[in-house]
């Protein structure tokens, strides 16, 4: 085993050394082959080491998140630590079941054979994580990859350097580079990594960058899991519990300052309840962050936008909407120097405003009034498939119809965001919002190859299909083909 080490970043460029990357990638090949036969106990031991090392740096992570974008420690616990620790707990308790071979019945054409499915680690895998939940979205997939028995190279975002440094120290303290390694850097480091023939790439980020990752993977026919994003819509109908809707949506929208891939992006509200819904949202924001602009700005419970560039982007969306006639119902304050955008509610946003076509990824919520829910369905279906759809209604038939008539990665009814934390549900997108699934057994499978195994029985029935094709064999083959029209026997 190689000695654990930290991978140094060039202070001039901020990038990892390409030679180091290639050397570590090459060194993981032998480990990946050896880990194909790793035991459940060995994999669980790795997960426990990760958990212990991560928890030992708890306070350091608090400090790092505060430094990178003033994320409250309670949100660090709830949205960074909790999901990763739950993944570890789930994997430790379920790994034996997930990894055991699964017997399957023979089909008509394979009668008298035995068959089963074995899961093997894919091998050397790359995990590219984003900046919005840097610990959760880096170590969460890492748990699945280790549970499946893979070696891993991690590439966190350069936009959260303090958190990335702590993660790098955690990894280096428990894994040798030929097992798990973390490389810091920006685009040049990512490009070097994407040139390598990994066995699987797990990427979380925007659809635009996801296309670049997929194109790079295609050069090596590398399989991919792409966790992307999109404009996740909300429907609040006239039967909804408005207090529940406001409480839940203001949490889902404003946690992490709106920088969440499954955050509610915009809300369609029935005209008959729109004013009451807005009032309920106002009350929730005032209760949680303060009832004046100054109080909200100084609230310790509200994070900041990751950097000035992204703050300027969101401010530009807000300004463009207002110039086209949108009305600010609440908030609207921007402090570029402090990367601050107030919790903001908009109405009367025209369809041509950029905020209605670009993923907001910030604490600005357009509220769109509707009278006919069929128009809402047409609007949703006219746009790329989102990562999530949220329906607030007590009308079960309508809710079922809305789910059936739309397409999204996931759905939450009278809730939002929480499906991400459900380890027994597949988390992922569809088309523009992603490819493949993560979490729990679905994450384990993402990093595994399901290998088909067939064993011949005592009588080799396939001999009946071997040449030379006598008249008798022709009759047997024809009879077999005709029998496939019958109902399944197995």
DSSP 257: G
**CA 286 to chain centroid:** 31
User: Annotated catalytic residue: which of 261, 281, 339, 416?
Assistant: 261
Which two tokens mark 47?
């997960």
What letter does residue 418 receive in the DSSP assignment?
Answer: G
- DSSP string covering 17-67, please? -HHHHHHHHHHHHHHHHHHTT--HHHHHHHHHHHHHHHHHTHHHHHHHHHH
Nearest alpha carbon to residue 99 among 444, 379, 488: 444
Instruction: Indicate if 261 belongs to the active site.
Output: yes
Distance, in Å, from the CA atom of 464 to the CA atom of 461, rounded to the nearest integer, reads: 6
Q: Are 296 and 302 in contact (CB under 8 A)?
A: yes
CA distance 355 to 324: 11
3-state secondary structure 340-372: EECCEEEECCCCCCHHHCCCCCCCEEEEEEECC
Determine if the peptide bond prior to 468 is cis (ω within 30°). yes
- Which residue in the block uniquely carries the two structure tokens 């920088």? 259
108, 484 contact by CB (below 8 A): yes
Set 80, 179, 184, 227: catalytic member: 227
DSSP one-letter code for 429: -
The two tokens of residue 400 are: 């079922």
Kindly provide the b/e burial profile for residues 165-174, where b requires at least 16 CB atoms within 10 angstroms of the residue's own CB: bbbbebbbeb
Paired with 127 in beta bridges are: 154, 202
What contacts 479, CB < 8 A, 6 or more positions away?
none
Structure tokens, 242:
């408005």
CB atoms inside a 10 Å sphere around CB 185: 25
Report residue 485 as tokens. Answer: 């029209």
Does the active-site annotation cover 227? Answer: yes
Instruction: Name residue, tokens 């303290």.
Output: 173
Positions marked active-site: 227, 261
């Amino acid at each position: 085993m190689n000695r654990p080490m930290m991978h140094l970043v060039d202070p001039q460029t901020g990038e990892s050394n390409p030679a180091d990357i290639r050397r570590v990638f090459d060194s993981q090949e032998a480990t990946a082959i050896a880990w194909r036969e790793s035991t459940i106990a060995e994999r669980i031991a790795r997960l426990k080491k990760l958990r212990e090392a991560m928890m030992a740096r708890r306070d350091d992570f608090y400090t790092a998140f505060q430094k990178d974008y003033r994320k409250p420690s309670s949100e660090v616990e709830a949205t960074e630590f909790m999901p990763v620790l739950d993944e570890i707990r789930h994997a430790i308790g379920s790994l034996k079941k997930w990894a055991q071979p699964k017997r399957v019945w023979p089909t008509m054409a394979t009668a008298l054979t035995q068959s089963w499915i074995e899961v093997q680690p894919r091998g050397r895998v790359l995990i590219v994580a984003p900046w919005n939940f840097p610990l959760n979205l880096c170590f969460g997939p890492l748990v699945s990859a280790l549970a499946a028995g893979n070696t891993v190279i991690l590439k966190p975002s350069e936009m959260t350097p303090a958190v990335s440094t702590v993660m790098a120290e955690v990894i280096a303290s428990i894994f040798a580079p030929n097992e798990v390694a973390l490389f810091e850097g920006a685009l040049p480091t990512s490009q070097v990594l994407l040139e390598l023939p990994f066995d699987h790439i797990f990427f979380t980020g925007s659809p635009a960058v996801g296309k670049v990752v997929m194109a790079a993977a295609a050069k090596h026919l590398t399989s991919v899991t792409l966790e992307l994003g999109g404009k996740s819509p909300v429907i609040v109908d006239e039967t909804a519990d408005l207090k529940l809707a406001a409480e839940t949506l203001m949490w889902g929208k404003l946690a992490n300052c709106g920088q969440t891939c499954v955050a509610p992006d915009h809300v369609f509200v029935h005209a008959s309840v729109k004013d009451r819904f807005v009032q309920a949202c106002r009350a929730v924001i005032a209760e949680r962050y303060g009832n004046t602009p100054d109080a909200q700005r100084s609230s310790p419970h509200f994070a900041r936008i990751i950097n000035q560039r992204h703050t300027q982007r969101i401010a530009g969306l807000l300004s463009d909407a207002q110039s086209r006639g949108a009305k600010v119902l609440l908030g609207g304050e921007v402090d570029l120097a402090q990367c601050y955008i107030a919790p903001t509610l908009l109405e009367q946003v025209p369809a041509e405003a950029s905020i209605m076509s670009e993923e907001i990824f910030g604490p600005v919520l357009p509220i769109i009034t509707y009278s006919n829910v069929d128009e809402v369905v047409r609007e949703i279906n006219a746009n790329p498939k989102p990562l999530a759809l949220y329906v607030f209604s007590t009308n079960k038939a309508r809710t079922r119809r809305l789910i059936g008539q739309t397409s999204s990665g996931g759905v939450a009814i009278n809730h939002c965001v929480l499906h991400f934390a459900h380890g027994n549900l597949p988390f992922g997108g569809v088309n523009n919002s992603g490819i493949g699934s993560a979490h729990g057994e679905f994450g384990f499978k993402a990093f595994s190859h399901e290998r088909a195994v067939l064993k011949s029985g005592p009588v080799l029935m396939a001999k009946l299909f071997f040449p030379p094709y006598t008249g008798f064999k022709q009759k047997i083959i024809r009879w077999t083909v005709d029998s496939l029209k019958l109902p399944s026997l197995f």
